[in-house]
Amino acid sequence: MTVRHVLWAGFPGQSNNYGTNPGGSGSQTLAAVDYYDVLLPSTTPALTQVLHALDDTHGKDFELGKALNAAGYKTIIVNVCKGSTYANDWIPGGTYYAAGIAEMQRAWTLIQAKYPGDTFIHHHIADQGEEDARYPTSGIPSLWASNFAQSHAGLASSLGITFSKIWINKTHSTLNNGTPGLYSTLVNSLQLQAAGSASHFLDRDGYDWEPGGLHLTTAGYIQNGQALAAMIIAGTPMGTIATAKKNQLLNHQLNKVTYTPAATIYAHAYVAGVRVTGNGYAPASLTNNTTNWTHTTTRTKVNANPFNFPGASGGDWGVVDEIRLYEDLAGTDEIGRCTLASPQNVVNGGAALSVLAGAVTLADSGSGFSTAKMASLLNLLLGGEADAQLATVYWQYYQGAQSTGGTPQGGRVAVTQNTTWNDASNGIASTSADVTIADQALATWLVEFDAAAAGNMLFEAALPVAPPTQGKVPAGQARTLFA
């Protein structure tokens, strides 16, 4: 089971997706991101589109998808639009509502058919408001938030989904050849109200706009996509692995010990760094398997099912803003912790705390281990999947990083892991002995493989001092996990 983020652009104006300079010429595609894009020709749905690889003809969406994919998010973008519309065109009974909903439903059917059994986190991206802001009277502009709420609720109901987040692109303040729209200020304030937080409201006034201020330029679309991705990433925090757990996994990787994953993962709730106690509190738990912890091929790991806590009784818990994971019920053997993107106020007799699928994310932000190796260790820790330990690995010099096309220098040398490394401490392990390896004048990187020839890269690091080193890699070389 995989967690996928579905970004529903419902429903933007045409210029926000198919503007005069939307992006490239279709020369770049990103197969890892599914895309469904329809420009409605009329009130009758075309229903002809299929999921396809994201391409750069839609610059904003391309940059958005590319950035999220690079950050480890499995992403699907659905964009159904129509030019020069008002917010009330997209509410039930509105001019384009039925056509838009039909296309969204078709997209959702295709998504579920392509990824059966996966978990989906749904985001609503709003990118409409120019026509409302330019309307000659206040009637339509003053109803922007109400109309958006109806559109939002109708989309969720028609698809049978629950949206995790709303993200709103601010309508440009300057729309009429350098002057504000008559009701730009009003519409902007209502957009912020609908977003619910400034952290979900993207102010684009400083981007690159065409003369007149109605359409972004190519550079502006790129700015928009990158900034929106950064906002979504910031709103879906990546957690950290506890230092003691880093040590255990690092010693496992270096064949010093074998790490045995816990059978059950326990989640404890925290308020401003303090664990909740009393008032009916008990930790939540999930069996440590691939049903509850999505198999990953990236450097991130997320929960595929929710952590459901009991309700508060006898008193409030407060605003829960952090979840910490443990291998034991008492909460002493910490795995890691993650700040919640949407803190929850848990009150006496109110709704019970539920930490939704995808809300707990642990990540490696850039250690020297390969993505495949990091994914395997994360799958061992959360999911309980097997990770093969190697008694012997093979070191080789490279000119440049192997992962970016560097070239090998000299041959590979066999290294016995458990006698070469000290036990990890503070998330760092260092070599305890010199490793004999012939100097290479052009070498700038040291690369580790799982085979004497070909095979898979496990780790790489720039050499602190380029050769010659008297025919050896001296003791004291360090490496970390979950940098």
**Is the C-alpha dihedral spanning 238, 244, 245, 249 positive or negative?**
positive
Cα–Cα distance between 473 and 475 in angstroms, integer? 7
Specify the higher pLDDT residue, 421 or 232: 421
CATH class for domain 3-234? alpha beta
3-state helix/strand/coil string of the chain: CCEEEEEEECCCCCHHHHCCCCCCCCCCEEEEEEEEEEECCCCCCCCCCCCEEEECCCHHHHHHHHHHHHCCCEEEEEEEECCCCCHHHHCCCCCCHHHHHHHHHHHHHHHHHHCCCCEEEEEEEECCCHHHHCCCCCCCHHHHHHHHHHHHHHHHHHHCCCEEEEEEECCCCEEECCEECCCHHHHHHHHHHHHCCHHHEECCCCCCECCCCCCECHHHHHHHHHHHHHHHHHCCCCEEECHHHHHHHHHHHCCCCCCCCCCEEEEEEEECCEECCCCCCCCEEEECCCCCECCCCCCEEEECCCEECCCCCCCCCEEEEEEEEECCCCCCCEEEEEEEEEEEEECCCCCCCEECCCCCEEECCCCCECHHHHHHHHHHHCCCCCCCCCCEEEEEEEECCHHHCCEEEEEEEEEEHHHHECCCECCEEEECCCEECCCCCCCCEEEEECCCCCCCEEEEEECCCCCCCCCEECCCCEEECCC
Q: Are strands 74-81 and 3-9 parallel, antiparallel or unpaired?
A: parallel
Q: Which residues contact 454 (CB under 8 A, 6 or more apart)?
A: none
* Residue 397: closest CA among 437, 457, 454, 353: 437
User: Which of 12-21, 143-152, 173-182, 449-458 comes out lowest in average pLDDT?
Assistant: 12-21
Q: How confident is the model at residue 50 (pLDDT cuts 50, 70, 90)?
A: confident
pLDDT above 90 coverage of the chain, percent: 45
Kindly state the tokens that stand for 132. Answer: 């409302």
- Please say whether the beta carbons of 461 and 446 come within 8 A: yes
> Residue 4 pLDDT more than 90?
no
Average pLDDT over residues 33-45: 72
Cβ partners under 8 Å of residue 222, min gap 6: 23, 59, 60, 63
Position 398 confidence tier, pLDDT thresholds 50, 70, 90: very high
Q: Are 354 and 307 in contact (CB under 8 A)?
A: yes
pLDDT score of 303 more than 80:
yes
- Does residue 1 have a pLDDT over 80? no
- What are the extents of the domains in the chain? 3-234, 240-367+376-381, 390-480
Tell me how far apart the alpha carbons of residues 69 and 277 are, in angstroms, rounded to a whole number. 38
Compare 2 and 317 and report the one with higher pLDDT.
317
In the block, tokens 């090998």 appear at 408
Residue listed under structure tokens 């398997």:
289
Mean pLDDT to the nearest integer, 371-396:
95
* Residue 41 predicted with pLDDT over 70: no
Give the mean model confidence (pLDDT) for residues 425-444.
89
pLDDT at residue number 299: 80
Q: 65-99: per-residue pLDDT in tens?
A: 998 888 778 899 998 888 888 999 999 999 999 98
Asked whether the predicted pLDDT for residue 251 surpasses 90, the reply is yes
User: What is the average pLDDT value for the chain, to the nearest integer?
Assistant: 87
Tens digits of per-residue pLDDT, 200-232?
Answer: 889 988 888 888 887 888 888 888 999 998 888
Determine the pLDDT at residue 15: 61
Report whether pLDDT(44) > 50.
no
Cβ distance 259 to 234 under 8 Å? no
Does the pLDDT of residue 236 top 90, yes or no?
A: no
Q: In this predicted structure, what is the pLDDT of residue 300?
A: 81
What are the beta bridge partners of residue 413? 395
| Mean pLDDT score, 353-373 | 80
Q: Which has more pLDDT, 19 or 475?
A: 475
> With pLDDT > 70 as the criterion, what percentage of the chain qualifies?
93
pLDDT at residue number 418: 93
Confidence of residue 255 (pLDDT cuts 50, 70, 90): very high
pLDDT higher than threshold 80 for residue 453: yes
Span 102-123, average pLDDT: 88
Structure tokens given for 417: 């892991």
pLDDT of amino acid 42 = 47
pLDDT, tens only, 168-190: 999 888 776 667 778 889 999 99
CA 229 to CA 54: how far, in whole Å?
15
User: What per-residue confidence (pLDDT) applies to 75?
Assistant: 93
pLDDT score of 365 more than 50: yes
20 pLDDT above the threshold of 80: no
pLDDT value of position 401: 87
- Evaluate if residue 118 carries a pLDDT over 80: no
| 264 pLDDT above the threshold of 70 | yes
Residue 254 has pLDDT above 70, yes or no: yes
Give the separation between CA 413 and CA 394, rounded to whole angstroms.
5
